[in-house]
């Protein structure tokens, strides 16, 4: 081999050794820390981050936004594994102190180790959905890093993303306002029975019947118009001024999520641009009107319906307002007497139309006769006084109940699809003037 070639090979070998030496050194530096040491560094990093926020962290925790709304939690992490926590899960929005740990596993996680507000979402004894599942929540959150100043976690059991955003003093002050908004959208016994959602892009209006479950903070909006087959799901979280919903409601080309409460008309309104808007509001009129009332008009044939307290007092279709009216009547009676039935007969061949109020404890039945007419536009039946059996003094305690059934604006009547205890068809009637609704068997 020529000397010239020998020198080329020697130079090539030297270069290869230098390259290998560099690669080996980098690898040694890269894996200088053991896996345990790296996790310990991450553990300290997370703990430092949690402690670094002067006013703590805020998380709106959606445990499953396909069936549950969001619950706002505030955390102020303290030295020695202590944490102050508050939430809008219920009316108690005060701070509660407990403990937390940064734990090592396949990754680093924060674990709330002693009972606090976050555990209300995972309590198996507190299950609004499947028994034993609680609110599908967790109290261990795996750390996935930072993004734009937020701490990004995933729940340990359900792998749902949860973001911790730096809180402000105002967040802590405002938390009580969230519970007020909860009451505003839930309503009270005097609130109208039904809710609607209406959207407009400035030209096209879409209307929906909104069924909202206040316990799980979740609503389903069912379209009311032909040609619109899109059912909307609303996972609701509360703010001091209204609500936010997930997913966003699409109105035209805009996405609306933030609704502001209007104290005047009790509505929640999300406003976009160029006339885009979404409105949630209460109404006494059922969103879907039926012609079921026509069966009860004069000439419609004999038909009797009745509320039987022993079987129907617990029906979910009895409104809280109706229950309060019944309780008020019962409270005016002697202790051994209560309303047993409120039975309404239509087109009876012998006695015409009448309401029969029957009682326990041997009290005699009280009869109120009426005539019927209809409001064909609003699809209600109107029961008009046609005389009583019994003196005014003897029936005075019934006035608060009878006025609801015979209110001049009439009753909405609906044949229901469910049964209770027996196979009898169920009818409900609801006042067109108040949130009064009572459940009845058809006889």
Q: Does pLDDT of 412 surpass 70?
A: yes
pLDDT bin (cut points 50, 70, 90) of residue 23 is: very low
The answer regarding whether domain 38-167 maps to CATH 2.40.128 reads: yes
Which fold would CATH assign to domain 181-283? Lipocalin (2.40.128)
Mean pLDDT on 207-221: 96
H or E segment and range at residue 8: helix 3-30
Output the pTM of the full model: 0.83
Give the tens place of pLDDT for each residue, 282-312.
Answer: 999 999 999 999 999 998 899 999 999 999 9
Q: What count of residues does the chain have?
A: 443
Mean pLDDT on 60-71: 96
pLDDT bin (cut points 50, 70, 90) of residue 21 is: very low
Same fold: 38-167 with 181-283 = yes
3-state helix, strand, coil split of the chain in percent (to 5) is 25, 40, 35
Q: Does pLDDT of 179 surpass 70?
A: yes
Give the tens place of pLDDT for each residue, 154-176.
Answer: 999 999 999 999 999 999 999 99
End-to-end CA distance of the chain: 116
In the chain, where the domains are located = 38-167, 181-283, 292-442
* pLDDT above 70: percentage of residues in the chain: 91
Give the tens place of pLDDT for each residue, 357-410.
Answer: 999 999 999 999 999 999 999 999 999 999 999 899 999 999 999 999 999 999
Strands (E), 315-410: 339-348, 352-359, 366-375, 380-389
């Amino acid at each position: 081999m020529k000397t010239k070639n020998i020198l080329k090979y020697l130079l090539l070998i030297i270069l290869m050794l230098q390259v290998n030496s560099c690669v080996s050194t980098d690898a040694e530096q890269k894996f200088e820390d053991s896996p345990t040491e790296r996790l310990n560094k991450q553990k300290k990093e997370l703990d430092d981050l949690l402690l670094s926020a002067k006013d703590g962290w805020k998380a709106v925790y959606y445990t499953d936004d396909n069936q549950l709304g969001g619950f706002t939690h505030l955390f102020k992490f303290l030295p020695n594994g202590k944490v102050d926590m508050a939430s809008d899960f219920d009316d108690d929005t005060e701070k509660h102190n407990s403990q937390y740990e940064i734990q090592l596993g396949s990754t680093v996680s924060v674990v709330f180790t002693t009972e606090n507000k976050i555990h209300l979402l995972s309590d198996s004894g507190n299950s609004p959905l499947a028994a034993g599942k609680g609110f599908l929540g967790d109290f261990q959150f795996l750390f996935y890093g930072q993004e734009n100043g937020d701490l990004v976690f995933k729940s340990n059991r359900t792998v749902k993303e949860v973001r911790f955003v730096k809180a402000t003093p105002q967040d802590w002050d405002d938390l009580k306002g969230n519970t007020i908004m909860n009451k505003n959208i839930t309503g009270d016994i005097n609130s109208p029975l039904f809710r609607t959602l209406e959207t407009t892009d400035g030209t096209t209006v879409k209307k929906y019947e909104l069924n909202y479950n206040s316990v799980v903070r979740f609503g389903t909006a069912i379209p009311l118009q032909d040609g619109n087959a899109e059912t909307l799901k609303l996972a609701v979280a509360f703010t001091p001024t209204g609500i936010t919903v997930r997913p966003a409601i699409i109105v035209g080309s805009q996405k609306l999520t933030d609704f502001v409460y209007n104290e005047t008309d009790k509505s929640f309104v999300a406003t976009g641009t160029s006339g885009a808007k979404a409105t949630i509001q209460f109404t006494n009129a059922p969103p879907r009107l039926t012609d079921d009332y026509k069966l009860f008009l004069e000439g419609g044939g004999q038909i009797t319906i009745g509320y039987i307290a022993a079987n129907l007092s617990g029906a979910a279709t009895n409104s809280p307002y109706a229950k309060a009216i019944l309780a008020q009547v019962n409270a005016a009676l002697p202790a051994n007497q209560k309303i047993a039935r409120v039975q309404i007969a239509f087109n009876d061949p012998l006695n015409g139309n009448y309401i029969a109020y029957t009682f326990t404890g041997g009290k005699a039945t009280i009869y109120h006769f009426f005539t019927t007419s209809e409001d064909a536009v609003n699809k209600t039946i109107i029961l008009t006084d046609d005389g009583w059996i019994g003196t005014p003094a003897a029936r005075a305690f019934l006035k608060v109940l009878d006025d609801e059934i015979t209110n001049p604006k009439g009753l909405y009547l609906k044949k229901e699809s469910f049964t209770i205890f027996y196979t009898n068809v169920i009818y409900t009637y609801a006042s067109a003037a108040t949130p009064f609704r009572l459940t009845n068997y058809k006889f």
